Amino acid sequence: MTVRPLRVCISLAVAAVLPAAFGPANAEAQEEVDDTASIEVGAGFQATSIRGDLAWLGGGTLLFRIGDFLQVGGGGWLLLRDHALSRESADGGLKLRMSYGGLVAGGSLVDAGRMRFDVRALVGAGTARIKVRVESADGAKVPVELAERAADNFFVVEPQLGLTMPIDERWRARLTVGYRKAYGVEDVFNVTAGQVSGGSAGVVVVFDGFGQRR
């Protein structure tokens, strides 16, 4: 007769202890996961190679960060200035316009104190267009766009390594090096996929103020 009340007391004690032991821990773990979710917006420029010449790209990324490792989102880049296809006609003649964008995914490799090394890859598509520019009829040095000579879409893959350094609590600077590989440029006059492929190095200013971070 004395065993049953003891069992009842033990059961009640266990029932009272379990929520206190595991409930807050689970809530804390959930809060910790939610606390690391944020949206990262970056904008910057890259120095790259187009047909063996130096060119400048401008663009940025919009990424959803999950924890301190995973980053998923999108990004895009475009030539800041039409690229002359002929060295002898830098102010006229045929000009190349190029832009590309796609899905961006990556993750952190090393967290060295306040600096972080990461790897990302952009997989998407781009467009290369050839424009014809000549001087105006009266001879003034004013370029006039006459027509689009050719255009072609291409597939692009761009792996990239980055070093992120804090500016303040929400702003960061990211230094990047990467390589853009284009496939399928066939219908553009005097331009091949290999000529619009090339290495790059750039600087991106990142704002991480949307969402909560630890």
User: Could you tell me the CATH number of the domain that includes residue 158?
Assistant: 2.40.160.20
pLDDT at 56: 97
Residues 119 and 204 in one domain: yes
Q: What is each CA distance from 59 to 62, 78, 101, 145, in whole angstroms?
A: 11, 6, 9, 24
The span from the CA of 46 to the CA of 99, in Å, is 13
Residues 77 and 169 in one domain: yes
Structure tokens at 210: 């949307």
| Residue 208: pLDDT over 70 | yes
Residues 121 and 207 in one domain: yes
Average of per-residue pLDDT values in the chain: 79
Single-letter amino acid code for the residue at 156: V
Assigned domain for 119 exists: yes
Structural domain of residue 49, as residue ranges? 38-83+97-125+152-211
The span from the CA of 28 to the CA of 22, in Å, is 10
pLDDT digits (tens, 9 = 90+) for 139-195: 555 555 556 677 889 999 999 999 999 998 889 999 999 999 999 887 777 788 888
* pLDDT tier at 23, thresholds 50, 70, 90: very low
pLDDT at 84: 84
Residues 67 and 48 in one domain: yes
Residues 75 and 31 in one domain: no
Lowest-confidence region among 33-47, 67-81, 95-109, 158-172: 33-47
Residues 9 and 31 in one domain: yes
Residues 196 and 163 in one domain: yes
Q: Are strands 38-50 and 143-166 parallel, antiparallel or unpaired?
A: unpaired
Residues 1 and 55 in one domain: no
Domain total for the chain?
2
Closest CA to 78 of 51, 96, 53: 96
Give Rg (Cα) of the chain: 27
pLDDT digits (tens, 9 = 90+) for 37-49: 789 999 999 999 9
The span from the CA of 6 to the CA of 18, in Å, is 18
